[in-house]
Amino acid sequence: MSASENTALAPVRRPLADTGRTAALTSWDAEGWAGLRVVVAGLGVTGFSVADTLAELGAVVVVVDGNDGPENQARAETLRIVGVHEVLLDAAATRSLPEVEGAPAELVVTSPGWRPDQPLLMAAHAAGLPIWSDVELAWRVRERAGRPTADWVCLTGTNGKTTTVTMVEAILRADGRRAIACGNVGTPVLDAIRDPEGYDVLALELSSFQLHWTHRVAPASSAVLNLAEDHVDWHGSMEEYAAAKGKVYENTRVACVFNEHDPVTRTLVERADVQEGCRAVGFTTDTPGLSDVGVVDGILVDRAFTENRRHEAIALAERTDLGPVAPRHTMANAAAAAALTRAVGVAPAAVAEGLRSYDRGEHRIQLVATSRDVMWVNDSKATNPHAADASLAAFTSVVWIAGGLPKGVTYEELVGAHAHRLRAVVLLGTDASALRSALAAHAPDVPVHAPLADADGTGPADGAAVMAEAVRVADGLARPGDTVLMAPAAASMDQFRSYAQRGEAFIDAVAALMREHGWDTDAGTAAP
């Protein structure tokens, strides 16, 4: 394969993986863990699992977090009980690299939310210290005497990660493997590593934040599902973001899975340093080429993992296995999951069985209600334009509820692509100026409403009140045959704690509207 000029990516500086003592830390039983001086940055779910693991290994651990709220105070007390040396809950403590027992730290393990330009991490880098993610630490301790060592199947991407990793988990289980989806979703990877029974395979969803600080992981199969502008504020540039995503392919043993519809994912495979014998395998929603997994007449087929792939394909599953609604991007996720699992020897029949049984979850193209021939759909998990693009493409006439924290992205391309399907737009967010500007430029005839916004367009922080009013406004705009789609194309943290809370606010507001009018509804379930 050769990279085209328009998909070339600039080189980026990568953080250090090892210096001195940490180079020998390649198993749970390595002698170097005892007494190792470690600073753990962050005390959320990830940071807690890191500190707990390191304490069990015998390291001397100092945890730093700027939040001294009740939840962190409780976590800190638990960590002190299990042997963590010190927990510093003070914003001032995050501005410099602390000593550990009066001596310089030897390693920093950081939580995903900490940006590379955070002062403590910058100090660690300047001091030449290795900085690891929790994923890197998990890889170093995955081998342990007396326990099985699991294969790793790793995936990342701008969108579709959670759906795909859930599919991967379900397919592996259908094949009789003890498997768990972990990492950036559900169970922290270190908790999975320490499970007393162990696993055959870990299906890891990895964020670009985690991958930035990950160095030695060698998965059996790996994938970048897609790549679009996102988290530019964290990484500093699109090139840095893409390079972080591409690290998932490094050291892959069996198959690097890429998106035939996204040339940059192919380029990332080309740039990766993989193990001898590793193959590049494409996934597509079109007819598959040689060494691809794709779709023919609604049937998911494999031309990659069959001996006679030049002349035949193996049927894996049908579109109907994915439920009553299976948009194009859902088929793409299924094709990626099939490729990742076929790479580790999963039987063809297990693909269909797994896709029929996987947990579709909430807040992802979730049909909330249907009333008076209007569908109400919750896609709160569409936190960027790329995700919203897939959601909008699934419907023909839309009252679009959108907006939130934009994370430095632009909306011109998204609005231009879908202006023809928009009946109206109802804006969320404390600052919807970027989306409003794109709508004015590319969909000037589409009515735009901003419930409860001030005259300058600034919205209130009370998300529940804004959502309730947005639903009422959308109801007045919708016509039979329309879909009221809440696909924000932005993060939620300006008005909500999380995309889940935003989704629940939408569900609650729709339910309240139905009760208020006494309308009969067909309650929906999560569509794939």
Is 58 annotated in some ligand binding site? no
| The CATH fold of domain 147-357 | UDP-N-acetylmuramoyl-L-alanine:D-glutamate ligase (3.40.1190)
Residue 3 in tokens:
């990279």
Q: How far apart are CA 294 and CA 316, in angstroms?
A: 10
Predicted confidence (pLDDT) per residue in 256-312, tens digit: 999 999 999 999 999 999 999 999 999 999 999 999 999 999 999 999 999 888 888
Over residues 25-51, the mean pLDDT reads: 96
CB count within 10 Å of CB 424 equals 20
pLDDT of residue 206: 95
Q: How far apart are CA 277 and CA 10, in angstroms?
A: 27
Is 157 annotated in some ligand binding site? yes
pLDDT of residue 14: 55
Alpha carbon of 521 to those of 153, 325, 353, 415, 524: distances in Å? 41, 18, 31, 30, 9
- Check: CATH 3.40.50.720 for 36-132? yes
pLDDT of residue 457: 67
Predicted confidence (pLDDT) per residue in 500-523, tens digit: 999 999 999 999 999 998 886 654
Alpha carbon of 164 to those of 223, 329, 461: distances in Å? 10, 10, 33
Counting DSSP H helices and E strands in the chain, the numbers are: 17, 20
May I ask the CATH architecture of the domain 366-517? Alpha-Beta Complex (3.90)
Over residues 364-391, the mean pLDDT reads: 89
Predicted confidence (pLDDT) per residue in 278-292, tens digit: 999 999 999 999 999
Q: How far apart are CA 486 and CA 522, in angstroms?
A: 18
Dihedrals φ, ψ of 375, to 5°?
-95, 140
Is 219 within 8 Å of 168 (Cβ atoms)? no
Is 252 annotated in some ligand binding site? no
pTM: 0.74
Predicted confidence (pLDDT) per residue in 316-347, tens digit: 999 989 876 677 888 999 999 999 999 999 99
Is 323 annotated in some ligand binding site? no
Match 């109206």 to its residue by tokens: 424
Q: What single letter denotes the amino acid at residue 101?
A: E
Parse the chain into domains and list their residue ranges: 36-132, 147-357, 366-517
Is 163 annotated in some ligand binding site? yes
Sign, CA torsion 233/234/236/240: negative
